[in-house]
Chains A and B, each alone.
Chain A
């Protein structure tokens, strides 16, 4: 005989303002099977949970329905409270009368009726819940970090320092990401490489970290604690075990005019190359598309001069499989090369460059050894114009969001330019200045007051070349005047966007992403480094545009989540798994084909003599993720999903 307890939460005014909670509790007492019903201001609070525990004991409840916020919010809270009172936690359900009722409706009468309906469905469901026990699965205590930029490096180091193994997979030839391309970092004007390279070396030398560079994740299977990942190790055509990084090969390579990706096209590299001098590992790779040997069958100089015979033209890509228990996605961002604003002439006029290109010019180890010079004629620009918000905050033509870092790096660029070109003129067209971090506002003020950058609040309508200069036509809204500036160089603060194949990687890993292809966090406020997929965490700019301190913080945060996961030998999994009724199973294998995880096994039923009688489907509870696709597939009603059984769902529908 069912004895269900119903607890209706006011959630302060969040629910009570729209739903008549007292009335709802009263009405629920009339519903068959409900032995106790009450309402209270804050069910999730200690006294609220106490009420549940007391009621379970006093009224001998066989099930509990808490009508409050979304189960995605507090289901674990109330399940724990029930468990503490001795009631199986899976005999507790939540009715969502806040996010899906009081917050979205205005008519008090209608919302109250709906709340009652919602609770009725949950009462009918919980009457048919089974007592379930959590499933235990072993945890592989090795983490995979995807991405070797500052966020990935931080995460890898922090996890490795807790004593667990880490596999760090980086797509490019070297660690470092975009931070390695920077000249100096705000707000301290620290030399970027100086603070980054020690970390890169630490990763390479750490006994617990296995570094795979020039490698990409191709496939991810499995689930939390038990992921199987296929990684493609792309071929460098160089045996890095033999290579000493002496540089004989790239010094002698005859193909010297290939645009360098690291220098954003402003400098050149050779076909066999190391992306930058401080690269980790400092071993080269052959760019086969631009190598004379691979394209025309001639040359082969690098193999001839290599003292350790490390060059191997026959090397192929290799696929390896890693077993890991947790994944940290730290794939970072790209700076958009934008030609969507034809009026700014990027791509047309060589002296219109992106901020990252400016960073390479300013960099001491960059294509111009740190001299700011025009790409067109190599002269030092006397007048420089910065344009902020090129593509960001623009719902009409660009992207809606703010790229966050551009106000700060533009101020930094103004200061770097001033320190190198003492007499130059600096103009910065901005919309707003967003400098919210520690020391950030003071930094932008320095650019204006000490380094005499002229900040103009307005947009630029167009720019065009004239007599060797770029005529920039903009507005200064604070003085109310149009501005025309004859610039020698224009630097665009373009949008920070995710990697071009971010969506594809998200689908491989099985995580969500938003309309801008930034990866989804589990909760925007309270769970910024977790995803909806258990065991997969996020760090850095792949989640949303952010600066270095935030990326580092998220790297450490993700590492702490992984360390928590690895702190136990076994993981308790939600027992929402499918079960087969072996009596009626016809072995049609529809479920076997439908299961995305391969959780269905073909079980043999043998008689005492060992003769095979028949085969039936069997669900491996350690692998099953509880999606229920097999249940909908089954032609003979022989499989059901604990927690969302056929009877439960029909009961929910029938009470409406």
Chain B
């Protein structure tokens, strides 16, 4: 029985977290390869629909990460993202999507190590939680009908 490899999709901002991920690369830090990064100019660009689409595509875990509050390259995009996130969390809760599968973080362009540690932690966490069966079942049912 091969180990379960979770599918993790991350929506990150170009100026902070994407740069931080690049820094992790230049520093040759290692983290699990399950993650797929979608680059956006700013976390403010992120619509909750993207996250839902990711779940629909079979993601077992989702990450949203951007600049620290006050440091957004576009001044306030990450603050909008944070507000949207708070509402979205309530919605997910209401719908029954476990909060542990959807992560939100601030990673700056200087925090390569933090990024690597975050991905490692998240991958292991999601691996423990197992495949997101609930979502897959719902999708399968929807496709049948």
Contacts and interface: CB of A to CB of B under 8 A. Distances in A.
B9 A656 contact: yes
Nearest to A518: B110
A79 to B, nearest CB: 16
A507 interface: yes
Interface in A533-576: 533, 576
Contacts, number: 139
B29 A627 contact: no
B26 interface: yes
Contacts of A627: 41-42, 44-45, 73-74, 77
B47 A532 contact: no
A70 B110 contact: no
Nearest to B28: A103
Contacts of B99: none
B100 to A, nearest CB: 21
Interface in A623-656: 625-629, 631-633, 641, 643-644, 646, 649-650, 652-654, 656
Contact of B50 (A103, A107, A643, A653): A653
Interface string B15-54: 1101101101110111111001111111011110010011
B38 A652 contact: yes
A236 interface: no
B38 A649 contact: yes
B33 A632 contact: no
A631 B47 contact: yes
Contacts of B18: 70, 72
A103 B40 CA distance: 22
A230 interface: no
A225 B40 CA distance: 25
A512 B109 contact: yes
Contact of B38 (A101, A510, A596, A653): A653
B53 A650 contact: yes
Interface string A45-84: 0000000000000000000000000111000000000000
B109 A100 contact: no
A110 interface: yes
Given A99-B21, A628-B45, A632-B46, A110 B33 contact: yes
B78 to A, nearest CB: 9
A484 to B, nearest CB: 42
A596 B77 contact: yes
Given A70-B25, A117-B36, A629-B45, A656 B77 contact: no
Given A515-B110, A633-B80, A628 B33 contact: no
B57 interface: yes
Contacts of A513: 71
Contact of B26 (A99, A101, A507, A646): A99
B76 interface: yes
Given A507-B71, A576-B41, A632 B80 contact: yes
Nearest to B70: A507
B116 to A, nearest CB: 7
B74 A629 contact: yes
Instruction: From B30, B32, B36, name the one whose CB has the most chain A CB atoms within 10 angstroms.
Output: B36
B44 A629 contact: yes
A18 to B, nearest CB: 10
A118 interface: yes
A101 B26 CA distance: 11
A106 interface: yes
A338 interface: no
A649 B46 CA distance: 10
B108 interface: yes
Given A99-B22, A653-B50, A654-B53, A512 B42 contact: no
Interface in B77-123: 77, 80-81, 84, 108-110, 116
A381 to B, nearest CB: 42
Nearest to A506: B71
A101 B31 CA distance: 10
Interface string A332-372: 00000000000000000000000000000000000000000
Contact of B24 (A104, A594, A597, A653): A104
Nearest to B24: A104
Given A106-B30, A107-B33, A110-B33, A628 B40 contact: yes
B110 A641 contact: no
A98 interface: yes
B50 A594 contact: no
Contacts of A103: 25-26, 28
B60 to A, nearest CB: 12
B121 to A, nearest CB: 15
Contact of B37 (A72, A100, A110, A650): A100
Nearest to B111: A515
Contacts of A449: none
B80 A629 contact: yes
Contact of A653 (B14, B31, B54): B54
Contacts of A597: 74-75
Contacts of A118: 36
Given A510-B75, A632-B47, A520 B33 contact: no
B36 A121 contact: yes
Contacts of A646: 47
B41 A641 contact: yes
Interface string A91-117: 000001011110111110011011001
B80 A532 contact: no
A594 B45 CA distance: 11
A632 B25 contact: no
Contacts of B31: 104-105
A514 B110 contact: yes
Interface string B111-143: 000001000000000000000000000000000
B80 A653 contact: no
B76 A656 contact: no
A512 B19 CA distance: 12
B135 to A, nearest CB: 14
Contacts of A596: 74-77
Nearest to B16: A512
A643 B42 CA distance: 13
A628 to B, nearest CB: 3
A100 B39 CA distance: 12
A456 to B, nearest CB: 35
A286 B122 CA distance: 58
A632 B82 CA distance: 12
Contacts of B28: 103-104
A631 B77 CA distance: 11
B39 to A, nearest CB: 8
- Name, among B7, B29, B45, the residue most crowded by chain A CB atoms within 10 Å (CB to CB): B45
Given A100-B22, A100-B37, A628-B44, 5 more contacts: A117-B36, A596-B76, A627-B73, A632-B46, A633-B80
29 contacts: A70-B18, A72-B18, A99-B24, A100-B21, A100-B25, A104-B25, A104-B29, A104-B116, A105-B30, A105-B31, A105-B32, A107-B33, A113-B33, A512-B73, A515-B110, A532-B73, A594-B80, A626-B41, A627-B73, A627-B77, A628-B77, A629-B74, A629-B76, A641-B41, A649-B40, A649-B50, A650-B53, A653-B54, A656-B7
